Each structure stands twice: as structure tokens, then as C-alpha cells.
Structure 1
């Protein structure tokens, strides 16, 4: 899993409970390969947690998280 630079910045600005929930949402995406978009394409996907979301693209060896959000 890779995190885009803006994702790292967004995570650093979140409170502990927000950062924890976003990381849990990312972990949920990692184990659900069936929800990944086609690898090597320009497609992206969204996955939602209770109060968070992640936007990501897929590669053969994992995902890159390109954006995150938390409604806290």
C-alpha cells in the first residue's frame, strides 16, 4: 500500500480517532480485493467507513490511496 503525499498530510491533520478510523478503512480495502478497480487502468474506487472514506487505485501488488476524508 502506498499513500499519496496529500493523504499523508491529511492523516497528520486528523485527530487520533479520525486517523485511526481512516487507517481501519484503508485496512478494510486491502483485504477486499473484490472491490478493487481493474489493475493497470485509469479507474479508481471509493470505500466508506462509518465516518470516513478513501479513494484509491489498484496495481498488481497493492493499492495507492490518493485521497481520504473523515466527517468527525
Structure 2
């Protein structure tokens, strides 16, 4: 089943400000979160989850068909 990723406006803006290496690292962390639906928070409501990569983190909520990334971080 294909899943969908939505990015909050602030996440889109933050990705635009990252250098190419940082954008790649964060997008890999988002992909990691996306392929682990068993670790998603309950869809709807105010619950969120964090996934950490080697040099980044992603905070996201979930809906039935995917996730919405609400915040990101990169240690560059």
C-alpha cells in the first residue's frame, strides 16, 4: 500500500533553507518514518511521534493513508 507524506509549511520552508546534504539526510529520515506505519501515532487527534536519523530528526502526526511532517531538525 502506498502511503502519502504531507509537509507543514514550516517544514517546506526549513527544507528550502538546508544545503543539499541536509535536505537529503532529512528526506531519508522522513522516508524511514513513512515505511514504519506500526510506529505511527494513532491517526487524528494531537498525538505525534519522533524519528531520529544519524544527523536529523522528524516530528510527525498520522492520518489513515500516511503522515504529516510537522517539524524537522538537522545537525549540520
Q: Same fold (TM over 0.5)?
A: yes
Name the structure 1 match of 2:18.
Answer: 14
Gaps of 5+ in 1: none
Q: Distance in 2 between matches of 1:36 and 1:68?
A: 16
Task: Work out the CA distance in 2 between the residues paired with 1:22 and 1:32.
Answer: 16
- Report the equivalent of 2:44: 40
**Pairwise mapping of residues 25-36 of structure 1 onto structure 2 (< 5 A)?**
25-36=29-40
| Corresponding residue for residue 56 of structure 1 | 60
For residues 55 and 35 of structure 2, the distance between their equivalents in structure 1, rounded to whole angstroms, comes to: 19
TM-score scaled to structure 2, two decimals? Answer: 0.92
SS at 1:40 equivalent: coil
- TM-score, with structure 1 as normaliser: 0.97
In 2, Cα distance between equivalents of 1:68 and 1:21: 11
Pairwise CA distance, 1:41: 2.5
| Structure 2 residues without counterparts, runs of 5 or longer | none
